[in-house]
């Protein structure tokens, strides 16, 4: 059966409904509905009509006062494009009234009354205008969260530079063992705030590219190139020394540019999720630090950075989505505890080649258990 894709079908539907609105729901020939300019929007629902006192009103809080004057139980929906339900109220009995409250952003919507509570309903187009109402004020707590996160990202970059310099110095001095001991530590600040670094586009390919990610002809530079020399070749040549110096320069560039990074609350939330994506894609498999097996150090830093972003957004998120916030608290705690069991007294982590398949599976479960709810954080901090 040639089932049409939804987009096509939905586009047709809108046309059909527009027709319905024109023919079925004209309100100008009906004086029963008062057209006041403020207060609730009156909705007169009958068995064959769905009349609104206004079809255009400002964004923000909207109140629909529904009167069911028909003989059937009805329900009223507000749909955004594609029939996304903005708000709804069911079971409005004949002769009864109901009030529907919603926060509605600017745009075009449809109100549907469904006598008998079946079918697509009798539809009416409405326009919600921006600007005519007091603009939605940015939540001060979110502004604060963004500013605190930028500060955090800067601190991480500032703290990274001296460690990278020590790492580079060890490489330049040809001290393989010392360089190895500093490798994981030199990456922590970066791994905590990686989405910020990646937002610049040009820095990450120079500093954090793995061998298999190279394009034909692209020079391999950065941490992982040096990692391979240290662990696989066990020696340092002139090329590595140059690369170490270059790594410091590239990371100083990052340090300078953190202040200019574009950071938004939803960007922070999705950045936190991306950190978990990194873990689930490259670290669970041991691909990230395949020579040094220091994956758990990066893993922990990713989780710490994600948690930082979440904690800053939590005042708003926990208000909007208390359940989600509870889940995130508990999952962050679980994964942190799990990581803790692999942490040595000196702050280093168990080498990932010593982590068994079963243990990797437990990590994978923990990452999925956190990553999935974390993907819902952005929606919880959107200013509606």
Partner 1 sequence: MDAENEQQAAPAEHGGEAQRAGLSRRAVIGWAGAGVALGAAAVGTVAAATMSSDESGAAPQAPDVPFYGEHQAGISTPVQDRLHFAAFDVITTDRDALVKMLKEWTKAAAAMTGGREVGGGAVGAVPESPPDDTGEALGLPASRLTLTIGFGPTLFEKDGQDRFGLKAKRPEALVELPKFKGDRLEAGRSGGDLCIQACADDPQVAVHAIRNLARIGMGVVNVRWSQLGFGKTSSTTPDSQTPRNLMGFKDGTHNIAGTDADALAQHVWAAPGDGADWMTGGSYLVARRIRMTIETWDRTSLKEQEDVFGRTKIEGAPYGKQKERDTPDLSAMPADSHVRLAHPDSNSGLMILRRGYSFTDGSDGLGRLDAGLFFLAYQRDTRKAFVPLQTKLAANDKLNEYITHVGSAHFACPPGVRKPGEWWGQTLFG
| By CB under 8 A, residue 130 contacts partner 1 | no
Cα–Cα dist 259/147, whole Å: 10
**Segment contacting partner 1 (CB under 8 A): 18-26, 29-37, 165-173, 232-240?**
18-26
- Binding residues among 37-56 for partner 1 as defined by CB under 8 A: 48
| By CB under 8 A, residue 121 contacts partner 1 | yes
Cα–Cα dist 272/251, whole Å: 21
Q: Which of 52, 66, 79, 124 binds partner 1 (CB under 8 A)?
A: 79
| By CB under 8 A, residue 95 contacts partner 1 | no
| By CB under 8 A, residue 147 contacts partner 1 | no
- Binding residues among 263-282 for partner 1 as defined by CB under 8 A: 266, 269-270
Cα–Cα dist 156/169, whole Å: 20
Give how many residues touch partner 1 by CB under 8 A.
56
Nearest-approach distance from CB 258 to partner 1, in angstroms: 22
| By CB under 8 A, residue 371 contacts partner 1 | yes
| By CB under 8 A, residue 9 contacts partner 1 | yes
**Segment contacting partner 1 (CB under 8 A): 2-10, 62-70, 132-140, 187-195?**
2-10
| By CB under 8 A, residue 27 contacts partner 1 | no
Q: Enumerate binding residues for partner 1 (CB under 8 A).
A: 1-6, 8-10, 12-13, 16-17, 19-20, 22-24, 48, 75, 77, 79-80, 82-86, 88, 90, 114, 117-123, 266, 269-270, 327, 331, 364-365, 368-373, 375-376, 378-379, 382
């Amino acid at each position: 059966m040639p089932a049409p894709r939804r987009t096509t079908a939905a586009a047709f539907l809108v046309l059909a409904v527009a027709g319905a609105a024109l023919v079925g729901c004209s309100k100008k020939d009906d004086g029963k509905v008062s057209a006041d300019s403020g207060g609730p929007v009156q909705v007169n629902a009958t068995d064959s009509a769905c009349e609104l006192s206004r079809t255009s009103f400002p964004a923000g809080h909207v109140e629909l006062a529904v009167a069911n004057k028909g003989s059937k139980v009805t329900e009223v929906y507000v749909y955004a494009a594609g029939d996304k339900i903005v708000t709804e109220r069911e079971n409005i009995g004949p002769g009864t009234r109901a009030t529907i409250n919603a926060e509605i952003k600017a745009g075009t919507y449809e109100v549907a009354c469904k006598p008998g509570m079946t079918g697509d309903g009798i539809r009416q187009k409405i326009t919600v205008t921006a600007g005519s109402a007091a603009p939605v004020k940015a939540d001060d707590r979110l502004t604060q969260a963004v500013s605190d996160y930028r500060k955090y990202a800067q601190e991480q970059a500032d703290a990274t530079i001296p460690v990278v310099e020590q790492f580079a110095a060890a490489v330049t001095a040809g001290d393989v063992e010392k360089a190895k001991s500093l490798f994981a530590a030199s990456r922590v600040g970066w791994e905590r705030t990686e989405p910020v670094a990646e937002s610049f586009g040009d820095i990450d390919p120079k500093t954090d590219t793995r061998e298999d990610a190279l394009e034909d002809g692209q020079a391999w530079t950065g941490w992982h190139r040096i990692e391979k020399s240290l662990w696989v070749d066990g020696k340092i040549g002139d090329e590595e020394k140059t690369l170490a110096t270059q790594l410091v320069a590239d990371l100083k560039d990052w340090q300078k540019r953190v202040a200019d990074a574009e950071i938004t609350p939803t960007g922070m939330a999705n950045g936190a999720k991306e950190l978990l994506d990194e873990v689930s894609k490259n670290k669970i498999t041991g691909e990230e630090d395949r020579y040094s097996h220091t994956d758990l150090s990066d893993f922990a830093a990713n989780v710490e950075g994600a948690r930082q972003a979440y904690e800053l957004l939590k005042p708003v998120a926990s208000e909007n989505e208390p359940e989600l916030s509870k889940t995130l608290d508990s999952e962050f705690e679980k994964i942190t505890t799990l990581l803790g069991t692999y942490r040595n007294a000196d702050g280093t982590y168990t080498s990932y080649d010593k982590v068994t398949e079963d243990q990797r599976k437990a990590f994978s479960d923990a990452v999925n258990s956190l990553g999935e709810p974390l993907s819902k954080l952005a929606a919880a901090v959107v200013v509606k």
